[in-house]
Chain A
Amino acid sequence: MRLSAKSATLLVLIALVALSPILFPSGYYYRVGALIFVNAIAVTGIVILTGYAGQISLGHAGFAGIGAYACALAPVHLGLHPSLALVLGAAISGVIAFLVGRPILRLKGYYLGVATLGLGILVSMVLNNERQLTGGPDGMEVPDLGLRGLLKDAGLDLTNGQFWYFFCGLALILGAWLALNLYNSPTGRALRALHGSEVAARTVGIDVAQLKLRAFVISAVYASVSGSLLALQNKFITPDVAGFMHSIEMVTMAVLGGVGSILGAIFGAAVLTLLPQVLTVFAEYEQLVLGLVMMLVMIFLPQGLLPSILRKVRGKGE
C-alpha cells in the first residue's frame, strides 16, 4: 500500500527527532535542536494560517509573548504549576485571537498585515512598559518545569539539553500531527477552499469569516505554546519574544521552507535557526547574510526551499 502523505511526513519527522542525536558531536547540539523544534511549532501554526487559509500575520510573536510570560508570571502570581501556566497562556492567546480576529480578518492583504502588526506591537509594548510586572526590557526569570526531576526519579536521567530536545521534539510531532489531521479534514478543506476563492467558498456554504477566525485562533495557540516552551527551557524571558522581528522570523521560516507543507515549513525553521549558529564566526555579517538569503530564496525558489529541492531530486530521478 502507498504511504499517505500524512503518515510519510510524520515518519520522517519522528525519524529526524529520534535519530539526529546520533550525529551530535556535543551536548550543545541538543540545545540547537530544541530551539529548532520550538520555532517549528510556531511555524506550523503559520502554515495553518498562511499556507492553508492564505491569511497573513505580521504579529504572531505577540501570542508567543503571551505564552512566554504566562509561564513566567502565572506560577509566581497565581501559584499555577508551569505546565498549567502553558495551558493558561494558550487559552489567553486563543481568546484574544478570537476577540480581535473577527474584525481584523475582514481585512485583506497588506491591511491585514498592518492590523496584525499593530496587535503584535501592542503586546510587546505592554511587556516592555509594565516593569513592575514583567521587569521591562531586562526580562524576567521563569520557574523550572520540574519534569526533568520527575524523570530522574523514575530512573531516566537526561541532561538539561537532552530533556528539552526530546520534550520539544515530542511537542512538535504532536503539533504536526494535529495540523496534518486538519489538512484533509472538512475544516482544512474549507480553509484551503477560501484560500483559493473566497467568493466560491461562500457559495458552497463556507462561513468564510468563521473559518478564518478558527485558523487564526489555532495558529495563535501554536505561537503561544512555542513561546511557553522557549521561556521554560531558557528559564528566562525578555520582551524580544513578542517583537516585530520575531513575527517576521516566523513568517519567513514558513515561507522560506515552503508554506504549503508542514515538512517544508519545519525545514525552513531549521535553516533559519541554524543560520545564525553557523554565522557566529562572522557575527558582523549575520544580518547581511540573513537579508540576502531571504531575498534570494524568494526570488529564485518562490515555492520555498523544500518543494524546490524535492522537485530537483525527482527531476534527476526520472
Chain B
Amino acid sequence: MPELLQFLFSGVTVGAVYALVALGFTIIYNASDVVNFAQGEFVMLGGMLTFVCHAAGLPLPLAALIAIAATSAIGVLMNKLAIEPARGAPVVSLIIITIGASIFIRGGAQLLFGKQIHSFPAFSGDTPLRIGGATILPQSLWVIGGAVVVFIGLWLFFTRTLTGRAVLATSNNRLAAQLVGINTNFVMTLSFALSAGIGALAGVLVTPITLTSYDVGLALALKGFAAAMLGGMGNPKGALAGGIMLGLLESLTAGYLSSQYKDAAAFVVILLVLFFMPQGLFGQKSVDRV
C-alpha cells in the first residue's frame, strides 16, 4: 500500500503542474479561440527568471514575484505583437504562430541563460514528510496547494467579479460582448497576462523539484495541451481534472508497468477518450448550424 500511496503523491504533484499549464491554455482559449503552444515557455521563464534574480542576490519571494510579473509582461507582449495582428487566421496558422513564439522564446532563453540546468532552494526545506509509509517533499505540497489556490482564485474571478464575467461573455460570443460594451481587447490582454502569470507560478513552484533549463517548455506545453483536451478544451474544471488524471496515469504507469512508456500511457488514454468522447471528458457537444 505505501507503494501505491507513493505513486499517488508523485502523480498528483506532476498532475498539479499539468493542471496549471492546462488552466493557462484554457484561459487563453476561452478569450481568443487560440491554443497557445508557448504556454510551456511561461513555465520555463518562471523558473529561469526566479533563478536569475535569486542568483543575483534577491530574496526568493521577491525573485519569484519579479519572475511572475516579467513573464506576464512577456505574455501580454506576445498577444499584442503576434496574436492580435493574426486575428481570424485559420487554426493551422495560429498553431504555427504560437509554436513560432515558443521556439523564439526558447531560443532567447538559450542565448541569455545558456544550456545549463538551474535550480533554487525549496521553500520549506528538503526534508521529506512521512505519510502512511510514503514520503512527500514539502515542495510538492507547495505545488499542489498552488494549483488548488489558483483554481479557486480563477473560479471566484470568473463567477464573482465583473471583469471575470466579461471574460466569460467574450468567450461565449465576442461580437455580442463588444456590443454590450465589453472591451474585448482588454479581455485578451488580461487573459494572456493571467495565463502567463499562472504558467510562471507553476515554474516557480516546481523548479526546486524538477530543476529547469531553457528547453523544458515544449514537453510541458504538450502535456498541458493534452490535459486540457482530455478534460475538454475551454472548461477550467476539465483542465484541473485532466491535469491531475494525466499526472496520476503517468506515475502509475511508471510505477507498475514501465517507466519508459509512462508518456505513452497518457497518450493512449487520450486517444481512447477522444475516440469515445470527441469533445473530451467535460466538453460540450456542438451542433452544426446550417
Contacts and interface: CB of A to CB of B under 8 A. Distances in A.
The answer to whether any beta carbons of A and B sit under 8 Å apart in the complex is: yes
Interface of A: 50, 56, 58, 103-104, 106-111, 113-115, 117-119, 121-122, 125-126, 128-129, 198-199, 244-245, 248, 251-252, 255-256, 259, 284-295, 298-300, 302
Contact of A110 (B35, B101, B222, B268): B35
A47 B99 CA distance: 20
Interface of B: 35, 82, 85-86, 89, 91-97, 99-108, 110-111, 218, 222, 225-226, 229, 233, 260-261, 263-264, 267-268, 270-271, 274-275, 278-280, 288, 290
Contacts of B110: 284, 287
Given A122-B267, A122-B268, A287-B103, A110 B91 contact: yes
Nearest to B259: A129
Given A58-B95, A119-B271, A107 B264 contact: no
B278 A292 contact: no
B192 to A, nearest CB: 15
A113 B275 CA distance: 13
23 contacts: A58-B95, A104-B271, A104-B275, A108-B278, A109-B91, A111-B229, A114-B274, A117-B267, A118-B226, A121-B267, A125-B260, A126-B264, A128-B260, A198-B288, A199-B288, A244-B222, A252-B100, A255-B96, A287-B107, A291-B101, A291-B102, A294-B103, A300-B85
Contacts of A290: 100, 103-104, 107
A290 B104 CA distance: 7
A295 B107 contact: no
A9 to B, nearest CB: 22
B274 A292 contact: no
Contact of A248 (B35, B99, B108, B225): B99
Nearest to A131: B260
B274 A115 contact: yes
Q: Which of A117, A289, A293 has the most CB of B within 10 A?
A: A117
A126 B263 CA distance: 11
Closest CB pairs A-B (n = 6): A291-B104, A294-B100, A287-B107, A288-B107, A291-B103, A118-B267
B263 A106 contact: no
Contact of B97 (A117, A122, A287, A298): A298
Contacts of A251: 92, 95-96
B271 A292 contact: no
Contact of B100 (A111, A115, A293): A293
B245 to A, nearest CB: 15
B97 A295 contact: yes
A199 B290 contact: yes
Contact of A302 (B82, B89, B95): B89
- The A interface is mostly helix, strand or loop, or mixed, namely helix
B93 A255 contact: yes
Given A109-B91, A128-B260, 17 more contacts: A56-B95, A107-B278, A110-B233, A114-B226, A115-B270, A118-B270, A121-B263, A121-B264, A199-B288, A199-B290, A248-B99, A255-B96, A287-B110, A288-B108, A294-B99, A295-B97, A298-B93
Nearest to A116: B271
B87 to A, nearest CB: 10
A114 B279 CA distance: 12
A244 to B, nearest CB: 7
Q: Which of A108, A294, A302 has the most CB of B within 10 A?
A: A294
A115 B260 contact: no
A129 B258 CA distance: 10
A51 to B, nearest CB: 10
Nearest to B232: A111
Contacts of A122: 264, 267-268
A122 B104 CA distance: 26
Nearest to A58: B95
Contacts of A108: 278
Contacts of B104: 287-288, 290-292, 294-295
Given A118-B271, A119-B271, A302-B86, A125 B263 contact: yes
Nearest to A100: B271
A114 B269 CA distance: 12
Contacts of A50: 92
Contact of B101 (A121, A295, A302): A295
Contacts of A248: 96, 99
B105 A291 contact: yes
Nearest to B219: A244
A302 B93 contact: yes
A90 B97 CA distance: 31
B223 to A, nearest CB: 10
Nearest to B280: A111
Nearest to A197: B290
A45 B104 CA distance: 27
A291 B82 CA distance: 11
B91 A298 contact: no
A67 B27 CA distance: 39
Contacts of B268: 118, 122
B288 A114 contact: no
Contacts of B218: 244-245
Contacts of A103: 271, 274-275
